[in-house]
Amino acid sequence: MESRSLAAAGVSTSSASVCPRSATSTSSSTSSFRTILSVTRKNSLQLLRVPPASTRSLSSISSHFLQSNTPFRSASENSTFGRCSERTYFRVLTVRAAMFDQLTNSLEEAWTKLRKEDVLTRENIKEPMRDIRRALLEADVSLPVVRSFVKNVTEKAIGSGVIKGVRPDQQLVKVVNDELVKLMGGEAAEIDYAKTKPTVILMAGLQGVGKTTACGKLALYLKKKGKKCMMVATDIYRPAAIDQLVTLGKQVDVPVFEAGNQIKPAEIAKLGLAEARKKSVDVVIVDTAGRLQVDKGMMDELKQMKKVLNPTEVLLVVDAMTGQEAAALVSAFNLEIGITGAILTKLDGDSRGGAALSVKEVSGKPIKFVGQGETMEALELFYPDRLAGRILGMGDVLSFVEKAEEVMLQEDAEELQKKIMEAKFDFNDFLKQTRALARMGPMNRVMGMLPGMGKVSAEQIREAEKSLKIVESMINSMTPKERANPELLAQSPSRRRRVALGSGRSQEQVSQMVSQLFQMRARMKNLMSVMQGGSIPGLDNLEQSLKGARKAPPGTAKRKKIRTELQSKYAAAQVAGASPKDVKAQLMLYSGCHPLVQDGKIMSRTPSSGVSKWRQRKSIEPKA
Ligand SMILES: Nc1nc2c(ncn2[C@@H]2O[C@H](COP(=O)(O)OP(=O)(O)OP(=O)(O)O)[C@@H](O)[C@H]2O)c(=O)[nH]1
């Protein structure tokens, strides 16, 4: 496998030299290489070491990468590049699979097998449970976890009996959801704070898993919660590690304590803690050096640091891409140094997410945070129930709302609401919204949080992103006046022509965008009314026009026009979320069709009386 993979990439195994990072490991270079391969093989990854000669053939490798010893992502290929030295680097080819997509789809297949059943039995549940088992294993959930999960779900599903009005497949989804939440630890686990400050958080983990990045992210997360933070750089082995932490500290505006690389990590930690006490810091986050694999040297060093720091939290940073190994790793660290929880990083990558499901069950320690990107904002508290919802394709609306709140200022939100209610939403607001959406993270992740949107294909998301870019280019070609008054564009073909020319789009595209904005105004206003608990949207101002409809002679152009208007408003109200029955009832009420309320009485017209003649047939008290 090893030589075949290398040969497939046109690389000779013998010419592959050793990255200095592996050389820092106590094991030999060959065994380091094997370790990585065995981990990656389980994740369907191939890890290749490419000698300098073949680097030149890969146009996507930037010279910056080779000089700066920093990892980067290739722009032109679906591949991730590991950290490298100036002579060699790792190239990791990954099988792209959006996190949990496969699992969600496979689980859905399992439910469909129960559609025709009336009740869950030991017999008819066998096949769906086999599918669930396979789906979990394929998602890299560890085998003992899968076994006990399947057993628990089977027992609970059969034991749940018949629930009136609930189909067996829905019943199974509910059991699986509850068990998934339980498996992942139930409640979200926040940071535990020390009774007397500072709270010390010791970060541990293997090389390159994202420890230093997680330190910066956690500092920002805690800073947003109003904590005064400080970071301590104790990775004296990797030359750029201290600088990396200092740079991240500047980015998130949190001070970093460093004392060079000539004294022992435990000593630096001690000095850092003293400094934090002096400065009355609330939380100290201590970054540590990683190793390629669990070894005695690293464990001893961590034990010494733990002794010196007496930390409230020892968080193990785990790369989600290590798949099944993640849970075992957490157990090993827990046995050796005693950890309080884990941070699972790179969940945005090619991981199949299995680690998120196994860590708590195997190690007994909760995942406290998940990292979903390289930016400092990409750290989230781990909510087992929300993730279960996402896995089962039910979305995660709470996370969506939280993200939206994060990227949107309160005043902006209030102003937007006012504009929406007055149907004055303009192109400036549109631009603001799309930019806020972009700040919420990659569109596929944002979409994944919305119920029913999990099924939106990557292709559709790419299309949507492309369309947004096109719209943005057209808005950028508008004058400030046009942005604030879309009516100007609606009224003037010459303005639309100018915008089309300026943005390199067709006039048709510009017209389409303008008309979409007006449609959006109407829809948003309706939606907002529903959310604010107002009456059925789109109908508030109808009474006036509908009075006219009642008076207009049937068959006349005016009546036809009003009917068309009504139909479109009916559709808009439905889009806005009102139940069709309610919408219909109110429309009928206002439009003069029966039943009709006048003076608190329901009036009706006889079918035989013709459309033009109205008469009061009988008075009926409105139903309670
Ligand atoms: N996509 C993605 N990349 C991440 C995430 N967290 C970290 N990274 C990237 O992973 C790489 C390694 O991260 P580091 O923080 O340097 O890893 P480390 O564990 O401190 O490495 P050592 O100090 O050498 O042990 C960097 O390129 C990070 O940008 C994440 O959640 N998602």
CATH of the domain at 114: 1.20.120.140
Complete DSSP assignment for 510-531:
HHHHHHHHHHHHHHHHHHHHHH
- Specify the residue with its C-alpha closest to ligand 1, atom 13: 210
Q: Are residues 25 and 150 in the same domain?
A: no
pLDDT for 72-124, tens place per residue? 333 223 333 333 332 233 322 222 234 566 677 777 777 777 777 777 888 88
C-alpha–C-alpha distance, residues 518 and 490, integer Å: 9
Highest-scoring range by mean pLDDT, 44-48, 502-506, 609-613: 502-506
Kindly state whether residues 255 and 362 are assigned to the same domain: yes
Buried b (16+ CB within 10 A) or exposed e, 51-70: beebbeebeebeeebbeebe
3-state secondary structure of 287: strand
> At 167, is the pLDDT very low, low, confident or very high (cuts 50, 70, 90)?
confident
By DSSP bridging, strand 601-603 and strand 596-598 are: antiparallel
Per-residue pLDDT at 296 exceeds 50: yes
Look at residues 336, 354, 383 and tell me which one is the last residue of a structural domain: 383
Residues 437 and 468 in one domain: yes
pLDDT exceeds 50 at position 282: yes
Instruction: Mean pLDDT check: name the lowest of 164-178, 200-214, 483-497.
Output: 164-178
Residue 238 domain flag: yes
C-alpha of residue 309 to centroid of ligand 1, in Å: 24
Secondary structure (DSSP) of 602-621: EE---GGGTTT-------BP
Does a structural domain hold residue 107?
yes
- The number of angstroms, rounded, from the C-alpha of 208 to the middle of its chain's C-alpha atoms is 23
Residue with the bigger pLDDT between 473 and 82: it is: 473
Strands 367-371 and 379-381, bridge-based pairing: antiparallel
Other beta carbons within 10 angstroms of residue 161's beta carbon come to 8
Establish if 29 belongs to a structural domain: yes
Per-residue pLDDT tens over the stretch 248-258 = 999 999 999 99
* pLDDT one-digit tens code per residue, 599-608: 333 333 333 3
Pairing of strands 79-84, 89-93: antiparallel
Atom 3 in ligand 1: residue holding the nearest Cα = 374
Asked whether residue 27 is domain-assigned, the answer is yes
ipTM, two decimals, is 0.96
Residue minimizing CA distance to atom 14 of ligand 1: 210
Domain boundary among 57, 77, 93: 93
Average confidence (pLDDT) over 542-553: 38
What pLDDT is stored for residue 29 in this prediction? 30
When divided into structural domains, the chain yields a total of 5
Q: Can you give the CATH number for the domain in which 493 is found?
A: 1.10.260.30
Domain of 311, CATH number, reads 3.40.50.300
Q: Are residues 207 and 175 in the same domain?
A: no
Model-level pTM? Answer: 0.55
Residues 338 and 464 grouped into a single domain: no
Please state the rounded mean pLDDT for residues 252-274: 92
For the stretch 377-425, pLDDT in tens is 889 899 888 788 777 765 555 556 566 666 666 566 667 667 777 777 8
Structural domain harbouring 54: 2-93
- Distance from the alpha carbon of residue 209 to the mean position of ligand 1, in angstroms: 5
602 shares a domain with 514:
no
Tell me, yes or no, whether 562 lies in a domain: yes
- Please tell me whether residues 524 and 556 are part of one structural domain: no
Separation in Å, CA 513 to CA 492, 495, 500, 506, 509: 14, 13, 11, 11, 6
Residue 289, number of CB atoms within 10 A of its CB: 22
Q: Is residue 620 part of a domain?
A: no
Domain match, 337 and 235 both: yes
Annotate 205-244 with b (16+ C-beta within 10 A) or e (fewer).
Answer: bbbbbbbbbbbbbbbbbbbeeebbbbbbbbbbebeebbeb
Q: Identify the helix (H) or strand (E) that includes residue 7.
A: helix 2-8
pLDDT of residue 550: 39
Where residue 556 falls among pLDDT bands split at 50, 70, 90? very low
Q: How far apart, in Å, are the Cα atoms of 55 and each of 34, 62, 89, 175, 201?
A: 22, 10, 9, 51, 40
Q: Which helix or strand (DSSP H or E) is residue 88 part of?
A: none
Q: Are residues 574 and 507 in the same domain?
A: no
- Amino acid symbol at 621: E
Q: Pick from 383, 413, 448: which residue ends a domain?
A: 383
Collapsed DSSP state (helix, strand, coil) of residue 275: helix
Asked whether residue 468 is domain-assigned, the answer is: yes
- Whether 450 and 587 map to the same domain: the answer is no
Both 266 and 325 in one domain: the answer is yes
CA of residue 213 to ligand 1 center, whole Å = 5
Q: How confident is the model at residue 201 (pLDDT cuts 50, 70, 90)?
A: very high
Instruction: Report the pLDDT value the prediction gives residue 617, as an integer from 0 to 100.
Output: 38
**Site to substitute for ligand 1 among 65, 213, 288, most atoms within 8 A of C-beta:** 213
Q: Is the pLDDT of residue 23 over 60?
A: no
CB atoms within 10 A of CB 463: 12
pLDDT value at residue 590: 32
Helix axes 354-363, 143-159, angle to 10 degrees: 90
Residue 621 included in any domain:
no
Distance CA 214, CA 363 (A): 21
Please tell me whether residue 318 adopts helix, strand or coil conformation.
Answer: strand
Q: Which residues line ligand 1 (CB under 6 A)?
A: 71, 205, 207-213, 235, 238, 241, 290, 345-346, 348-349, 371-374, 378
Q: How far is CA 585 from the centre of its chain?
A: 39
| 76 and 115 belong to one structural domain | no
